[in-house]
Amino acid sequence: MQNLAALREEVEVWRGLETRTREAIELLELAAADEEPDEEVVAGVAQEVVDLERELERLEFRLLLSGEYDKGNAILAIHAGAGGTDAQDWTEMLTRMYLRWAEARGYRTEILDSLPGEEAGLKRVAIGIEGPYAYGYLRSERGVHRLVRLSPFDAAHRRHTSFALVEVWPDIQDEVKIDIRPDDLQIDVFRASGAGGQHVQKNATAVRITHLPTGITVSCQNERSQSQNREVAMKILRARLYQLEVEKQEKELAQLKGAHVDAGWGNQIRSYVLHPYKMVKDLRTGYETGNVEAVLDGRLDELIEAYLRSTMGAGETFGGEVRGA
């Protein structure tokens, strides 16, 4: 029902855009047919065209976020890398940047884990971010972020370079729901066996259950009745299916997180320079801006959009499937 509601809402947005476009065209045709068109009507149609173009551009960009987990929540982790105390302070600065970005978008945030540095800043932090398309936007931030500035922790006030590693993965719920359909089970009963003929039961009380979709087979013969053995076997089956699902999710998360990257020289995806000049440059896309203060205050949308458009234009892999143009 949640998926259906989301799809209906998305379709209604596009249908609304179609209706507005049709009405604008009709008004324009009426104005063109009039020898003395109403200037207010013409101006209104012109403004509507501008608004429609902006809305279409926004919706077209949203279509880029078509990965399996893009619409969902995200977990963002930041780890201090090379640079000592400066790197730990940089980790705290990045934490504030992402919290401000999330706040501006109306997302809910929660600090899940943090470890403060010895002198200042944070050694690591994990943040839960809840909101529409949180993971879709934030996955562009994965990688090493580099800061160049005059260090406030250096008595000589020299220029220092520090690094922090940002990881992002989708917030897959910890509670794994195991749905076992009766049609997926093959249940066999047989006589229990044991050491010595006097211990072998004459009635078929032992139970063997095979889960057909996965091929997992469990059996129980320790209890005295068939119903008790069946109950224990189902308990074992549920536990094995739970573990199978956990292993599957861990494998998916490992693929989504990607290979481990050292937070040091040569691995950065973005540089934030505060001295001797001011500039933020994304090394993957070439996008740059001189308004470093705005970026550190959470204005990341331009950087994020530039990256997503570049990756989707070239095609990006999601779980083995290539998406993009």
Q: What residues pair up with 150 in beta bridges, in sequence order?
A: 159
Percent of the chain with pLDDT over 90: 41
What was the pLDDT predicted at 282? 96
CATH number for the 182-252 domain, one of 3.40.50.880, 3.20.20.100, 3.40.50.11540, 3.30.160.20? 3.30.160.20
Given the structure tokens 């998305």, which residue do they identify?
A: 10
For the ranges 6-10, 48-52, 146-150, 178-182, the maximum mean pLDDT occurs at 146-150
What was the pLDDT predicted at 283? 95
Q: What is the mean pLDDT of residues 84-96?
A: 96
Mean pLDDT of all residues belonging to the chain:
83
What was the pLDDT predicted at 41? 80
Q: Write the pLDDT tens digit of every residue in 27-65.
A: 888 888 877 777 888 888 889 999 999 888 878 877 788
Task: Write the Ramachandran bin of 315: left for phi over 0, alpha for psi from -120 to 50, otherwise beta.
Answer: left
Task: Report whether pLDDT(121) > 80.
Answer: yes
Q: Write the pLDDT tens digit of every residue in 161-187.
A: 999 999 988 886 644 567 889 999 999
* Residue of higher predicted confidence among 244 and 148: 148
Q: Pick from 146, 104, 110: which is nearest to 126 by CA?
A: 110
Q: Write the pLDDT tens digit of every residue in 188-208.
A: 988 765 544 444 455 677 888
Residue 40 neighbours by CB under 8 Å, 6+ apart: none
Please state whether beta strands 159-170 and 143-150 pair in parallel, antiparallel, or not at all (unpaired): antiparallel
At 265, list the tokens. 């020289």
User: Phi, psi at residue 2, to the nearest 5°?
Assistant: -65, -45
What was the pLDDT predicted at 4? 84
Across 64-68, 73-77, 271-275, least confident range: 64-68
Fold of the domain spanning 74-174+263-323: Alpha-Beta Plaits (3.30.70)
Please answer whether residues 168 and 307 qualify as being in contact, where contact means their C-beta atoms are separated by less than 8 angstroms: no
What was the pLDDT predicted at 109? 95
* ∠ CA 261-264-266, rounded to 5°: 85
Q: Pick from 142, 166, 141: which is nearest to 300 by CA?
A: 141
Across 76-80, 123-127, 215-219, least confident range: 215-219
Task: Report whether pLDDT(210) > 60.
Answer: yes
Full-model pTM: 0.65
Domain residue extents for the chain: 2-63, 74-174+263-323, 182-252
The confidence band for 288, taking pLDDT boundaries of 50, 70 and 90, is very high
Please answer whether residues 180 and 241 qualify as being in contact, where contact means their C-beta atoms are separated by less than 8 angstroms: yes
Distance CA 190, CA 117 (A): 63
Residue 23: what residue type?
E
Q: Write the pLDDT tens digit of every residue in 290-325.
A: 999 999 999 999 999 999 888 765 444 333 333 333
Q: What residues pair up with 76 in beta bridges, in sequence order?
A: 127, 168
